[in-house]
A = this chain, B = another copy of it.
């Protein structure tokens, strides 16, 4: 089940070459994950009171440049749910053109940073969104 965040490319996102500065794309992906957790009823600001959801790995291909003013649609898909991990993919399109694709793994950790099993409520909230699981 896909979740999409619109994102206009703003002045702050662009570099002297006039195109998106790629570390800003990772901020966007982080925002998209945060919005997704809002959407499933478990906002980050609540989760991080007692736990953490750091990104353990991420990879991205930047296939075409984005320019100031471009209107991107960033689509997140949850592709796997492990004992304490969540696999995600991202695709950013501007119209029909793919600007970047990425995949990442989040881990549910204790406040001390140790991986822990997803809580029952988080697992129940995530499961319907994991592709092939519903």
Contact = CB atoms under 8 A, between A and B. Distances in A.
Interface size class of chain A, counting residues whose CB lies under 8 Å from the partner chain:
35 or more
Interface in A49-70: 52, 54-62, 65, 67-69
A55 to B, nearest CB: 5
A97 interface: no
A79 to B, nearest CB: 16
How many identical chains are in the complex? 4
Given A57-B61, A57-B62, A21 B12 contact: yes
A23 B67 CA distance: 20
A22 B113 contact: no
**Would you list the 3 A-B pairs with minimal beta carbon distance, nearest first?**
A45-B69, A59-B59, A23-B26
